[in-house]
Structures are given as structure tokens and as C-alpha cells.
Amino acid sequence: MNPVMVVGGYGTFGALVCRELAARGVALTIAGRDLAKAEGFARQLGSGHDGVAIDLRMPDSFRQVLQGRRVAVNCAGPFSLCDTKFLKACLSCGCHYADIADDRSYANLVCKSGPRFVAAGLAAVWGCSSLPGISGALAQQIRDRLNQRPKRVRVTLFIGNNNPKGRAAVASLVQGLGRPIAAPQGMLRAGGGREFVSLPPPFGRRLVFNFDSPDYDLLDVPIITVKVGFELGLCTLGLSLLAHSGLRFGRRVSDLLANAGNWLKGIGCSGGAVLVEAFFLNGENQRAAVVSPNDGQRMAALPCALVVKALLDGTSFRGAGMAYELLGADRLLNEMAAAGFDVWPQSA
């Protein structure tokens, strides 16, 4: 039996996680509701990988296939619709857990399960993606370097246009537009707060807007804003205007926008960036970033693969936590640099 099972492993982000793990010699079981897709993608990865059909809404479909696994990875969004069934199954089967979740409510469910994972001698590592995995590591590195707490932090996620548009990710973004964001400084609104941010080369000055993320709950500073921006400025502006319309958008609108995004495939780059800016009481500003002119989604998937490999190799980490808590912020960022991504600090 393969030691790692990846649920949603043939999806947009799940496939990238699987490719990174397969390249590191990890034998995988690809899991999802479509058995043909799971088995087909397993064949693409090469010999030693297999596929199974499971449905996260139906515990009976995954309890049996979890038996004997060492790590279970959840890449099946949208995470706003996930509950604790899969977490409980991992606990009962003695299996470590990892995911790429960026939904605050689901993150809270994982954190509340932390004491049970500690008692079971297991780890539940969540948010192993751009936000909050990479952003949290960058913020931690800034704080460690200066040994002081900033008064304000701004986190920016930038997404190149020529990246595949996962329907779950698009649905999560669109359905959140216009909704309130609970921040330490008060209520913000998703899609509001338009401003320009100076991103590292080669991206430069870009329009961004407010985005909900677990970073608001993790960074422990008085003022936090999390922003997202897209390579096509008209896309950023259009989504922000939708947020200000006062309307609520469901699956039909998100599917339409996902299709529109795929029609524009080929325009622009496939890169991306995560930028953290920290502002201190003494007037000093610090910037740190992970940047990729190409393969931005691979950049987002890499923390999850690094976490899974560390769990397989053996770690003393137990309970619920972040990728940079299990690996250490420096190690995570050094591993990303070794994988070919630009990792840099810069004093303003």
C-alpha cells in the first residue's frame, strides 16, 4: 500500500502537489470521486502510483482506504464546504494529515482538532499553500530578523493570468466578494480597499483589493490587510466592482468567470508572487517575498509537498499547525529557493 493518499490529486493544485511528491520518490494513491481520472493521472505519474474513488461527503468511502497510510493530503476544495469527517478518519486510522486550505472557518476546525492529534501522536498541517503557508513564513522571518513586533502588516498575493483556473478556487473567490472580513483593526470588505502595491520584479506596480485569509488570525499584529491582484488589471478592477454591487454570486457566476479565465489562457505569464510588508513603530519598513516569473501555481503547491515529505521522513511535530511551524520558516523558504523560486528580503 502506498504511504500517501492525495484527495483531489488530479485537480489543478492537487496534481502539482502530486508531481512534486512523485519527483521526490514518494509513492502515491490518487483519490477522488472520478475513479477513471484518478487512475489515469496515477498512470501519468509513472509506475508505483495508483488511484481510488472516494467522496469526502461519505465517510464509508474513505475510512477503509485510509487504513495503513502514513499521510493523507486534502487538496479537494472548496474548503468552505468541508467538515471534520476526514480529519476524524485520519485520527482513527493513525494517519498524519496535510492540506492546502485557505478558508478561515475550515482552518479553525483543523486547529480545534489539534489536541486530539497531539494525543494520537499525529500532525495536522494545514494551509500549506501561498496563503497562509508562504506568507506566514515570510512574516515569521521578518519578525525573527528584527526581533520585534510590527505595528502593521500587508500581505499581497499576485497571480499571473496564464495559470490554470481551478473551479474551486474561482468559486471561493467569487462567492466571497462583498462579504465582511474580520480583521484585528475592525471589519473590512472582500473586494474593497483597492490600492496599488509595488511588487518585486518583474511585476512592479499592480492594483489589488482586500481578500479574506487565515493570515488575519495568525500574524498577531494590530493592523493587517491581505490583498490579491491579478495580472490583468481589468480583471482585478472588475471583480472589485462586482464586490461593490451588493449582489451575492453563486456557482453559476463563478463557473462563467472560470470559463472566461480559461478563454484568456495564453495571455500574460504563469508566474506569481507572495509579498509581506511589515511596518514598525520606529518608522522602519521591511519587505520579504517569494517570486516566480513562471510556474506560480507550482510555487503555491510546493509547501504542501515539502510538509508531506517531512512527515514521511520523521518529525517530532504533533498537533495542528502551519507548514513553517513544522519545517521552520528559514528551512521552508530555503527549500523554495532551492526549487528555483526567488526568495528575498529588502529593507525600505
Instruction: Count CA atoms closer than 13 A to 129's CA, side-chain side.
Output: 26
Residue 177 pLDDT grade (very low, low, confident, very high; cuts 50, 70, 90): confident
Q: Are 32 and 7 in contact (CB under 8 A)?
A: yes
The superfamily CATH assigns to domain 131-296 is Dihydrodipicolinate Reductase; domain 2 (3.30.360.10)
Per the model's pLDDT, the better-predicted residue between 344 and 180 turns out to be 180
Across the range 54-80, mean pLDDT stands at: 88
So what's the pLDDT on residue 147? 84
> Three cell numbers at 161?
493570468
**Band of residue 218 on the pLDDT scale cut at 50, 70, 90:** very high
Give the type of residue at 29: T
For the segment 83-94, the average pLDDT, to the nearest whole number, is: 94
Per-residue pLDDT at 262 exceeds 60: no
Whether CATH 3.40.50.2000 fits 4-129+297-332: no
pLDDT reading at 174 higher than 80: no
Tens-digit pLDDT profile for residues 128-148: 999 999 999 999 999 998 888
Q: Confidence band (pLDDT; 50, 70, 90) for 348?
A: very low
pTM: 0.93
pLDDT at 167: 65
Res 63 pLDDT > 90? no
- Tell me: pLDDT of 237 over 80: yes
pLDDT confidence band for 255 (50 / 70 / 90): low
The more confident residue out of 200 and 163 is 200
Q: Where are the domains of the chain?
A: 4-129+297-332, 131-296
| Of the candidate ranges 32-46, 51-65, 180-194, the one whose mean pLDDT is the lowest | 51-65
pLDDT digits (tens, 9 = 90+) for 1-23: 899 999 999 999 999 999 999 99
- What is the average pLDDT across 279-302? 94
Look at residue 249 in the predicted model and tell me its pLDDT: 56
Can you tell me which residue has the cell 462567492? Answer: 175
Mean pLDDT of 58-80: 88
